[in-house]
Amino acid sequence: DWGMNSVRLLILWAAIEPEEGVFDDGYLDQLEQRLDWAKSAGLHVVLDMHQDLYGEGFGGDGAPKWTCDAKHYADFKPISPWFLNYLNAEIIACVDHFWESDALMSHYVAAWRRVAARFANHPAVVGFDVMNEPFWGSTQVSVFEETTLQPFYERVVAAVRQDAPNWIAFLEPSSSRNVGVPTGLRQFSFANVVYAP
């Protein structure tokens, strides 16, 4: 009735892996129920691993609390409007830690693999958005997408497609695109990809 037949369904790393190495299958059960609703309504779904303000430790969503030093959460002083908190040193420290940590990226990949293995054949799912509005932290904006984000996307998409080879990859530029900074992403080495700002 609204003239569209697709939905971007937000999912959260913190809900998938609330404790390090511990996955919440109950959360995936609830997600499956919603995917079933979408199928019944004739909707095509893009699963979006969402984040705002890095994660739940800062009152946002995305990364689980265990992914960053609790001191950063304790020292955080929120301001308004909420998006200006991306300039906060505590959030930047956690973001930098994620981009610099192969171990954390491996956990992120494992969370996506869990989702892909569970829903690879669900008839409502057409694709996945690896990360909502990736933030560059203290990395120079002009090189972040080329040096950090592009290799990250290559890694996650390859892993997800081990379980869900037919899913379309919806890949976002960094959140700097929201203020008009041109993307530094290049053509990807794989097919079935959508540039998805």
- Residue 19 pLDDT level (bands cut at 50, 70, 90): very high
pLDDT digits 0-9 by tens, 177-188: 988 899 999 999
Task: Note whether 118 and 32 are within 8 A (CB).
Answer: yes
Residue 114 sits at the vertex; the CA angle it makes with 71 and 135, to the nearest 5 degrees, is 45
Query: Could you count the other beta carbons within 10 Å of the beta carbon of residue 118?
Result: 19
pLDDT confidence of residue 179: 86
Q: What pTM was computed for the model?
A: 0.97
pLDDT confidence of residue 178: 86
pLDDT digits 0-9 by tens, 47-101: 999 999 999 999 999 999 999 999 999 999 999 999 999 999 999 999 999 999 9
Question: DSSP strand E in the chain: where?
Answer: 6-11, 44-49, 125-129, 168-171, 193-195
The residue ranking higher by pLDDT, 140 or 178, is: 140
